[in-house]
Amino acid sequence: MKFGYTIIYVAQVVETIEFYEKAFGMTRKFIHESHTYAELDTGETILAFAAHEAAELNDLSITPNRRDGIAAGFEVCLVTDNVQEAYGHAVENGASGVSKPAQKPWGQTVAYLRDLNGCLVEICTEIAN
Amino acid sequence: MAIPASYRELDVLLPPRLAVETVWTSLSDKITDALILPDGRADLILRFMLDDDDRPYDIIPIIAGPSADYWFSPAIPCRGFVGLRFKPGFGGYFLGVDLAGIAGRAYSGDEALALAPQLVALCQPATDVESLIIRMEQFFDDYAEPQISAILVRVMNDMHLSGGRAAIKDLARDNGVTVRGLHRLFVKFVGLSPKAFAAVLRFHRALRLLTRAGLSLSHAALEAGYADQAHMTRDFKRHGGFTPAAIPPNLVMVGLPL
């Protein structure tokens, strides 16, 4: 068994991909023509988005993520050299700040935001060994 | 008790597409009564007899109110139906009736015409079933797109996504409405209470988990959101008239899209 994907169910797949490109500088891997599934180019472990309809099609019961609601208990964590700059760029492009970049005692710089769907996104520096 | 397999949902896109979930046809079974499961939606139905040349006659309208309870359609040879299922929240506007007042009931013939006299235009003679379907599809062409509460649409969406599991008080809070306010919206537009509507969705999902996903009774009860298996059994008897361990074969399960 290996970890292949994280798939987040969202109301608008294409809008979400565009948001991640604009706010976090990610790039799309592909968007299915039905606009119900898309992947970001995140390397071997893929961050993907699927439409709510896809959850329903598979008879899943889910709580939709919502920008004005309480965040679900998970986060997407993006690693960068310059957290300050990435945080500012994300906020300028529609992400809402949760906590500004702060240095942790173990040397890591960490900031938290909410994406357009209300999902938690952490931006941090690599942990020094 | 067998269920006729002749129920069929047609693949049509109608203006105003927002308001209509599906157009369906069905032919009555010759021998056994048909079990009709509740879906929380209102239907406009044309019932007719078919002659030897498959020509419909004795066409009468039926208004089926939103229901949380099952009922039986009697076995009558050569009796057919064309139905139009409204999306929850929209039926009252198109039929011009108060859905809460007709919930859990079906009105046929003169009773239906007393509620909605305009339906008389649907009952003219027809050459074949296909033309009845077209007549039904075109009947609401001139109606304006209905305006219903955006909050209600969002809550119904969340209810569907959770398979009827989300707590009403959480749905109300997340969508900026009081529990009482949400109750009023549901009764006014859907014709059922939020609790009754959610219970129907949960019942249908549990049915799908048992029949399509192949879950065991205990796992299905847990995943569908019932307190325990006994709770699921009580709900199945109430909404379907059968137990989870004895689901009728060839059960007609309507599509309940988002």
**Which domains are seen in chain B, by residue range?**
8-139 (no CATH), 150-246 (1.10.10.60)
- Which 3 state secondary structure label does DSSP give B228? coil
3-state DSSP percent of chain A in helix, strand and coil, to 5 = 20, 35, 45
Maximum Cα interatomic distance, chain B, rounded to a whole number of Å = 58
What's the pLDDT at B5? 47
For residues A101 and B140, which has the higher predicted lDDT (pLDDT)? A101
In angstroms, the CA A3 to CA B25 distance is 46
Query: Which ranges of chain B have pLDDT less than 70?
Result: 1-5, 12-18, 256-258
Beta carbons of A120 and A114 less than 8 angstroms apart: yes
Residue B133: which residues within 8 A CB-CB, separation 6 or more?
B10, B23, B25, B82
* A61·B157 Cβ contact <8 A: no
Please write the tens of the pLDDT for every residue from B60-106: 999 999 999 999 988 898 899 999 999 999 999 999 999 999 999 99
Which residues pair with residue A79 across a beta bridge? Answer: A124
Residue A8 pLDDT exceeds 90: yes
**CATH H superfamily, domain A5-124:** 2,3-Dihydroxybiphenyl 1,2-Dioxygenase, domain 1 (3.10.180.10)
* A55·B209 Cβ contact <8 A: no
In angstroms, the CA A86 to CA A78 distance is 10
What's the pLDDT at B1? 27
**Element (DSSP H or E) covering residue B128:** none
A55–chain B Cβ distance below 8 A for any pair? yes
* B205·A61 Cβ contact <8 A: yes
What's the pLDDT at B109? 96
- Pairing type for strands A75-79 and A120-124 reads parallel
The domain limits of chain A are 5-124
What's the pLDDT at B3? 34
What's the pLDDT at A117? 97
In angstroms, the CA A113 to CA A15 distance is 18
* Residues of chain A contacting residue B177, judged by C-beta atoms under 8 Å apart: none
* A59·B174 Cβ contact <8 A: no
A56–chain B Cβ distance below 8 A for any pair? yes
- Which 3 state secondary structure label does DSSP give B21? strand
* A61·B162 Cβ contact <8 A: yes
Q: What's the complex ipTM?
A: 0.78
What's the pLDDT at B251? 84
Residue A14: Cβ-neighbour burial (10 angstroms; 0-12, 13-18, 19+): middle
Best of A52, A61, A63, A117 to mutate (most B CBs within 10 Å, chain B): A61
Chain A 58-87, residues with CB within 8 Å of chain B CB atoms: 59-64, 66, 68-69
What's the pLDDT at B75? 87
Nearest CA distance, A118 vs chain B (angstrom): 13
* Residues of chain B contacting residue A65, judged by C-beta atoms under 8 Å apart: none
CA distances from residue B169 to A70, B88, B181, B185 in whole angstroms, order as listed = 14, 20, 11, 14
Nearest CA distance, A58 vs chain B (angstrom): 9
* A59·B205 Cβ contact <8 A: yes
